[in-house]
Amino acid sequence: MDTALQSLIYAADDHYLSDADLDRFGKDVQALGDRIEAYEYIRERELSILQPAVDYLTEEFLGSDPKLLERAVMHWLSILRYAAMAMLLNNSEYLSRRILEWLPDLVEVYQLRDIELALYRLILVQAKSSLSPEQLALIKPYLEEAYAVLLNAKPALQKAA
């Protein structure tokens, strides 16, 4: 659930919401409308955002193993979907829990860091041309969060035999 709305619901546990809270509630509901619209837009344009980014990626990493490139693409497909949902819920913890806490070890083991970071950059370029500035502003913090996590990916696992 939307974290801002949820905190207001908790606040109303045993008393009426104040005028200021009700005003905030109205604004949060309105913001939720904008996020639903952005979510639908991203959902409908997933392919048109990702495919050109992936095409540029394959050119940029011409000699790389296609399986590795595919794996990185799958990661960003997931990131984009979870980021869109986190945006809808206004909840960055959702993105962290569902994918970002889990991904760095995989990126490290398959040595995908450079590919993943390049793909982030290419996806952002496509998102800029596909989404309105307002929609981009809604989704961008979540994509940036994913970028930051992958940028700092550390070798977390011991060497598997």
Partner 1 sequence: MISVKELVRESHLPSNYFAPDVYIQGDLEAGLIENRKGARLLALPEPFLEAIYEGLAEEVGAASESVLYKCGAWWGKTFYRRFAEEVSQHYKQPLAEVEMIEFLQCFKQSWKTHGWGKVDLDFNFYQQGFIVVAVRNSAFATSGSALGKPKCFVEAGLLSSFFSGLTGQKLHCIQTTCESLGAECNYFVLGLPERVKRAEAWLQENHDHATIMDRLCQGQANR
Backbone φ and ψ of 79, nearest 5°? -60, -45
Residue 25 has which token pair? Answer: 């509630």
Quote the CA–CA distance of 112 and 120 in Å, as a whole number: 12
Residue 53 vs residues 56, 109, 126, 132, 147: alpha-carbon distances, Å: 5, 23, 7, 18, 15
Rounded to a whole number of angstroms, the minimum distance from the CB of residue 26 to partner 1 is 28
Binding segment toward partner 1, per CB under 8 A, in 37-45, 78-86, 130-138, 141-149: 78-86
Q: Do residues 25 and 17 lie in contact, with contact meaning Cβ atoms separated by under 8 Å? A: yes
Q: Which is nearer to partner 1, 30 or 158 (CB)?
A: 158
Q: Of 64, 42, 52, which is closest to residue 114 (Cα–Cα)?
A: 64
Rounded to a whole number of angstroms, the minimum distance from the CB of residue 60 to partner 1 is 12
Size of the site for partner 1 (CB under 8 A): 34
Rounded to a whole number of angstroms, the minimum distance from the CB of residue 132 to partner 1 is 22
Q: Do residues 91 and 3 lie in contact, with contact meaning Cβ atoms separated by under 8 Å? A: yes
Interacting residues with partner 1 between 93 and 112 (CB under 8 A):
94, 97-99, 101-103, 105-106, 109-110
Interacting residues with partner 1 between 8 and 67 (CB under 8 A):
46-47, 50-51, 54-55, 57-58, 66
Applying CB under 8 A, which residues contact partner 1? 46-47, 50-51, 54-55, 57-58, 66, 69-70, 73-75, 77-78, 81-82, 94, 97-99, 101-103, 105-106, 109-110, 157-161
